[in-house]
Amino acid sequence: MSMFTWIILAGIILFLVLKRVSLLRPAAARQWLSQGALVIDVRTEGEFRQGHIAGAVNVPLDRLRDDISRHAPNKEQPLLLHCLSGTRSGVGRGVLRGMGYSKVFNLGSYYRAARVLKNCASSPSGAQVT
């Protein structure tokens, strides 16, 4: 393999490791949810309509700056973000932190978020996938 290929592979591995490390652990997610955290789905409206976690609020990433204050006017409100792969929710976390929200966490992908929140009795509908 060429040096360029090794550099690309190392970059991909680093990206995946950093993405994984930045995700909120399941136990912490459940604890935040029990303390009133709001689950925010930053996927598009079309993706949300195809299926979503019950009780999640859809605020697409491209409208997050403008629309989040309607759903979370208190910047101390814990927010658990997710999207399809975890990338947009990671970006959304940065956006909200930049806006002064102090308790914003990345749940990662839609499927991971559904698994993490699946058995949460404190979620509005048991965090079921619809």
Instruction: Report d(CA 93, CA 74) in Å as an integer.
Output: 16
CA 28 from centroid of its chain's CA atoms: 13
What is the pLDDT averaged over residues 36-53?
96
Give 62-110 pLDDT, tens digit per residue: 999 999 999 999 999 999 999 999 999 999 999 999 999 999 999 999 9
- Per-residue pLDDT tens digits for 21-30: 468 888 999 9
- With cut-offs at 50, 70 and 90, classify the pLDDT of residue 47: very high
What is the reported pLDDT for 23? 85
pLDDT digits (tens, 9 = 90+) for 111-126: 999 999 886 543 333 3
Query: Where do we find the tokens 């990338």?
Result: 87
- The band of 12, judged by pLDDT with boundaries at 50, 70 and 90, is low
H or E element that contains 31 = helix 26-34
Question: Across-strand partners of 68?
Answer: none
Residue 5: phi and psi, rounded to 5, are -60, -45
Q: What is the pLDDT of residue 10?
A: 61
Q: Which domains does the chain have, with CATH numbers?
A: 3-117 (3.40.250.10)
